Structure 1
Amino acid sequence: MNSRIFLLSFSFITLTALTAFAPADHNFRSYKKRPAKKAYRLTKKTNPYYIVISKKDYELNVYDEEGWYATYPIVFGSKDLSDKMREGDRRTPNGSFKIVLKKIHNKWGPELLLDYPNDESYRRFKERKEKGLIPATAKIGDGIAIHATRPEEEWTVDNFYNWTDGCISLKYTEMKDLYSYITVGTNVTINP
């Protein structure tokens, strides 16, 4: 078999295998944004945006005072999309959070750090320990963020490939857009 046919066959098989894990309505995904009607002048007191993440839909939606503003396709850490139980389970936590830090990460660029664990996260964690759902020695974990893929790995989002340690990941190019207008203090709700 010549190398060109082998490479094409291998590429097709790899793409077929990766898309087998995608939801039935899978297609190559990119973000949608409402045309701008008015420019916001952001101050520390004014933040018109809030974020709602839907795990089941693999979407991050941004809303403002006028309603829906933008939708970005995303991926997570684990195929198990249930609530984060403890450190190391690679799950993304459910609940209400705030963005507490914007920074540029050395591997995947733009990053919005969430205030996980917050008081509600600690309450659920303690309750689960008391019920014996997690080991008494388990730790809650931290460092959950909304961040980009590496520039050459945007395909992970197109193929619903959950690769993080529990964070929410957007395509590199689309995360640069989100990062440009989301501020520290923005509310983030993560739904199952």
Structure 2
Amino acid sequence: MSWKSFYKNHQRNILGTALLGASFSTLYFLLARQGFMVPFTAIPEVQCVTGCPSQQALHVPPIGKELLNYNKPLSQLINSANVKEKTSILIEKSKYRLTVYYNQKPLKSYPVVFGGTPTGDKLQQGDNRTPEGMLRIKDLYPHPQWSKFLWLDYPNPQSWRKHFQAKTQGKIAWYQPIGGEVGIHGVPQGGDTMIDDRKNWTLGCPSLKNKDVEELYQVVQKGTLVEIVP
């Protein structure tokens, strides 16, 4: 084989490899976007390459089943300019209660409802369940139908681990995507009675009365911790 022929074959091999790599990357990106594959940058954390973080409970729930200080404005309960940096949230699904914490101390609780399947952890798209565990607010913005939307970082690495574990155990099918777009939001205008009646009307998002989510919106920020327990 002449040097010229070898060079041309080498170029074709490089081009073929590059096209194959580009095709694989594009396919992986599309599958990740649809919730079938872990985002590439999250793979080390999902596989716990540097060790899985502890998932121990961080909040001590208020005593009993009642709503804490529900009739008091949050502005009367928090006396600090750095409120957003020290605020966190606990959602107790079995008690239909969302509690705001400041410096790990419970300040105020709100009634909250969930999806059509209120018990059990979210494992896949379309199961109408609310994810459990440690999440964080990834963004927050006004919503045209539900007052405000506090977008949670589901699926996070913990969510992906539970999703794949459920698949290996045969609890869900391998072709099922993990889902997403979970957030804390309000209700359609005039829908406060759904909260009072504990009507689980969402696809899995925690839902508050509009006046409550609007108050909550003022004391959280991107990165605020949200712990959700059964």
Same fold (TM over 0.5): yes
Q: Is the 8 A contact 1:151 1:173 kept in 2?
A: no
C-alpha change, 1:118 and 1:130, in structure 2 (3 Å) is same
By percentage of residues, which structure has more helix?
2
Q: List runs of 5+ in structure 2 lacking aligned partners.
A: 1-64
1:148 counterpart = 2:189: no
1:31 counterpart = 2:55: no
RMSD: 2.3
Q: Kindly tell me the number of residue pairs found equivalent between the two proteins.
A: 164
> Deviation at 1:151?
2.5
C-alpha change, 1:99 and 1:173, in structure 2 (3 Å) is same
CA distance in 2, matches of 1:74, 1:37: 21
CA distance in 2, matches of 1:147, 1:93: 15
> Deviation at 1:109?
1.6
CA distance in 2, matches of 1:139, 1:177: 34
Q: Which residue is equivalent to 1:40? A: 81
CA deviation string 1:106-126 (max 9, x = no partner) = 211211000000000000100
CA distance in 2, matches of 1:76, 1:61: 15
- Matched ranges for 1:44-123 at <5 A: 47-65=85-103, 67-123=105-161
CA distance in 2, matches of 1:91, 1:83: 6
C-alpha change, 1:91 and 1:37, in structure 2 (3 Å) is closer
Structure possessing the higher relative contact order (Cα contacts under 8 Å, 6 or more residues apart) = 1
One-letter code of the match for 2:100? V
Q: Is the 8 A contact 1:32 1:72 kept in 2?
A: no
By percentage of residues, which structure has more strand?
1
One-letter code of the match for 2:79? K
Identity in percent: 35
CA distance in 1, matches of 2:203, 2:146: 13
CA distance in 2, matches of 1:88, 1:31: 32
Q: List runs of 5+ in structure 1 lacking aligned partners.
A: 1-25
CA distance in 2, matches of 1:32, 1:62: 14
Q: Which residue is equivalent to 1:5? A: none
CA distance in 2, matches of 1:72, 1:134: 33
CA distance in 1, matches of 2:93, 2:106: 18
CA distance in 2, matches of 1:158, 1:40: 32
